[in-house]
Chain A
Amino acid sequence: MGMNNCLWYISLFLPMAAAAQQDSGSAPQALHRLTIEAFGGYDSNVLGNDLVLGLYRGGTVSNEVRNNSLNRMGDVNRGGYLLQGRATYAWGDSLFGQPRWMPRISLAYTSAMGMRFAKDAYSIAFFGNAPFEETTAHLAPGELFATTFQSLSFGIEDRATASFIELSLVSGQNFNAARVSNADLYTAEDGRYLDLDLDGSFHRSDTATSSYTLGLGAAINITWCRPLHVLGASGKLSIGITDLGFIRWNASSLSISKDSSIRYDGIEVQDILDLDNLVINQASLQDSLGLGYGKGSYNTLLPFEAKGRLMLGKLRRAAHLPGMFAYEISVGQRYLPGYLPHVEVRRNFVFSGCFAGQAGVAYGGFGGWRATAGVDALFLDRYRLGVHVPNAVGLCSKRAPGKALSVRLEVAW
């Protein structure tokens, strides 16, 4: 694709941003902007903080803690985490002769995991199969996707609306992906045999190579913003998608798919009196059950996020930074198992010339209903620091599910 064609495609997107600029009339005038964002958190609709933190910190996880989460479980059990950091720098007074455009570059790290699981799967994992003697444990449906990757992105931003488009190079560090549509485990009396009806697959990245990059890929980030007026109030609409792309993992990636019934009644030995150095480990069990891995390249989609955001009632303007609105409604969806559409309604308050607070309510994601809160601090019209708590109750609670925190720093000059 030549440069002219490239500009033509970009122009399909950015004229809308240009139109938005005309509506805005309040475009930040900074020539440089650096944004650093960090998010860390996990959430679940059933797994309490006492369990998750117990697993994270190590040591003994008590029966009571495990039961607390078990007692919350129903048919739909979800959980996941996200650790993400991103630094973005946009600069310049024009690009390709367009004064509205400015180049931008961003560097990001993402580690994400999402899962949905059956109650019996949790019970087997944390209480064993003894309670299921002579009964069938239904371990499915279940799904897991976990990955860690880094991306380096280059793009163009519309100075007036902050709309942008970026293309990313992605370096995959690791991944685990499992999908189990059927898994019924029957434990016979006295453990004489285990019957497993299994229909599922499991894939993971190369475990033998110590390289930091086990897969390469590409992604695109697009955000379209438009100022608007609703019921006489000024506002802004933002629609975007982040990390829409893929990673092709190397040829040493491991995969296994199984759709069969397995009966396991022990490892066959030649002599019951000759157990010297008999080792029953994961490898020998996998061989015995016919669950050996195959090797080969594997493609995964990135855990992209699509998000729409409507902001109304402008509260404060900054000369060099985007303004703040009184009300925000956002709807987002992340491509991870167990993640429901996340809806948040937020009210922003200005405390003084420098500080603003936030309060809201959210539903979805990996969790359920959540109270949200946050604060923003603006200094010298050039520096803004925001801290947001997506789960205010969970952050302070030992037993409620979920803890998360996000920090955002913007500097413009």
Chain B
Amino acid sequence: MVLALALVAAACRKERPAPQWDVGLIVPLVKTKLTLGDLIPDSILSTDQSGNVSILYSAPLFSLSLDTVLTAPDTSFRYAYAIPFPGPVQFQPGSTFNTNDDVTHFDLDGLNLTKLQVRSGQVDVAISNMMNGNIIGLFSLPGATLNGVPFAISQNLPPGTPQAPSSTNNSRPLDGYVFDMRGPDHNSVNTLATHLSYSNAPDGNPVSITNMDSLIAVVSYHDIIPQYATGSFGTRTISVDPSSSVLDLFENISGVLDLDQVSAVIKIRNGIGVDARATIHYLRSVNTTTGTSVDLNHAITTGPVNIDRALDLGNGFQPALNTFQLNEGNSNIDVFMENLPNRVEYALDVQINPLGDISNGHDFLYHDSKLSADLDVDIPLRLIATNLTLRKTVALDLPGSAGSHAWKSGTLHLFADNGFPFSAAVEVAVVDDAGQVLAVLAPGGTVASAQLGSDGLVAAGTSRRIDLHIDPAQMNLLQQTGKARITAVFNTADQNQHVQLLDRYALALQLTVDADYTVNGDE
């Protein structure tokens, strides 16, 4: 080392190429010890007192959110004022000459709301003035309050003419306002009281108007997102188009997996204050790699499912939880999971208030309310694996470049001390960016299964060395793509009996290299 340092340091000058020579290196590279906790995230592993390992996995199936139940469309209302006779009529400064108390009816697609708290939204008030004086317009919503103060907008309207009216626009946020949708008499729904008045400016001149002079106000509500709504949501059916959820439990795994037992719970949470009845047309386990799919057979997929309503706590809600147990006795959940799905497809209809307005107008929803379903699976790792394949493409950060690299050729030695009750055939291939195999490193081999005792548990581990030769052409390919695909094919020791996996099982791996290396070859 000292010698090489001295000579190379003396030789290295920027203007000259670096000296290069070939050496034979035989060195350890990396080592690791794999347990089930390394192969499967700890967060979904469960171990009992005997060390038996289970997978507890939860995946979302579907979710219906607020906008499925309630949408507040953008709405505009027009208010016009003119004297009903030819005139002219003169108004003194400060005198009010029109007061209009009205109501606004919102079309809410079958919902009859009595109260609406706005999370966010805006109202725009645009008034055009054809009168020849300075007018003050006041628009207010007596039924919309924020901390007890009604909503109001006052606008100064410059003089205008019928031919050239003046225009004034004003916008205000409605965030946090509570709309009393019962109207001014508290006996209606979807109705908001409005007030509009005009007066001559107190510091102005007398205004003389005829029936040709008018005031036109346009009030627009838009981007209204409810924070809370209550009323009667009616009886209606919401169709959920076929959709799917991603399931990453079996990501990168293929082959045949025979599970001894599987249990699962489908949890449907209803955060909306309505009774519901769901008709699940199908829940489908889809393996896009193999192209196979398995429909779940269970009572929830063969008939309607009644779902309780959430509880209104005043400043929040408590969702109703409806659970449905699945096991091999009442479903095909084992086959469903053994399909190694990477996607769950579903289609369903949800009917709300199937029994009518049994809450007497006290249906409700909050902004965070939703109707959702999750699948919780409990899979004891007692299984038969047949050609269960774990495949992963890794991007290697190799020094040098495709045209110049230090590692030329050699042999990778993979040493395995296997304490798992399954064998593992290892293959390493050079792949391109599209995942196409460009070269397979031979000969590869199989790490034999650990030896099982009479109790079906591992009694002794096995050791094996697997060699992977890399010739110069393959090394060039690896340098070009920088990608290697590692495939491990697992087979349990006994193909007729399920074997139990314990948390103490481990696979120790060490990778060494015996290769030709060119000093300064990366430059």
Contacts and interface: CB of A to CB of B under 8 A. Distances in A.
A115 B2 CA distance: 9
Interface in B293-339: none
Contact of B2 (A178, A264, A278): A178
A333 to B, nearest CB: 21
A383 to B, nearest CB: 34
Interface string B1-37: 1111111111101001111111111111111101000
B228 interface: no
Interface stretch (B45-53, B163-171, B269-277, B509-517): B509-517
Interface residues of B, number: 50
Given A117-B2, A271-B34, A127 B24 contact: yes
Given A61-B20, A66-B21, A279-B397, A268 B10 contact: no
Contacts of B395: 276-277
A59 interface: yes
Contacts of B18: 58
Interface stretch (A184-192, A226-234, A347-355): A184-192
B403 to A, nearest CB: 15
Contacts of A62: 21
B437 interface: no
Interface string B407-435: 00000010100000000000000000000
Interface in A89-113: 113
B4 A125 contact: yes
B28 A192 contact: yes
A122 interface: yes
B30 A269 contact: yes
Nearest to B11: A55
B36 to A, nearest CB: 13
A117 B3 contact: yes
Contacts of B29: 266-267, 280
A387 B70 CA distance: 101
A379 interface: no
B3 A122 contact: yes
A381 interface: no
Interface string A279-291: 1110000000000
Contact of B16 (A58, A60, A63, A266): A58
A273 B253 CA distance: 13
B28 A265 contact: yes
B34 A272 contact: yes
Nearest to A193: B28
Contact of B17 (A59, A113, A264): A59
Contacts of A191: 25-28, 413, 512-514
A113 B24 contact: no
Interface in A326-375: none
Taking chain B's interface residues, is the majority helix, strand, or loop, or is none over half, making it mixed? strand
B486 interface: yes
B460 interface: no
- By CB atoms of chain B within 10 A, which of A121, A130, A146, A268 has the most? A130
B455 interface: no
B43 to A, nearest CB: 16
Interface string B500-512: 0000000001111
A161 interface: no
B510 A144 contact: no
A128 interface: yes
Contacts of A277: 395, 397
B19 A270 contact: no
B11 A270 contact: no
Contacts of B26: 128-130, 133, 187, 190-191
Contacts of A212: none
Contacts of A267: 29-31
Contacts of A143: 2
Given A146-B9, A265-B28, A180 B2 contact: yes
B185 interface: no
A144 B31 contact: no
B32 A271 contact: yes
Contacts of A61: 19-21
Contacts of B413: 190-192
Given A58-B16, A125-B1, A191-B514, A264 B392 contact: no
Nearest to B17: A58
Contacts of A269: 30-32
Contact of A59 (B2, B19, B509): B19
Contacts of B6: 79, 113, 115, 144, 146, 176
B19 A273 contact: no
A130 B9 contact: no
Nearest to A128: B23
A70 to B, nearest CB: 12
B390 interface: yes
Given A113-B10, A115-B2, A266-B510, 12 more contacts: A55-B11, A56-B11, A56-B13, A60-B19, A125-B3, A127-B24, A128-B517, A129-B24, A271-B34, A276-B394, A276-B395, A279-B397
11 contacts: A59-B20, A113-B6, A121-B3, A124-B1, A125-B7, A139-B1, A144-B5, A269-B31, A273-B394, A273-B486, A275-B394
Interface of A: 52, 54-63, 66, 79, 81, 113, 115, 117, 121-122, 124-131, 133, 139, 142-144, 146, 176, 178, 180, 187, 190-194, 264-281
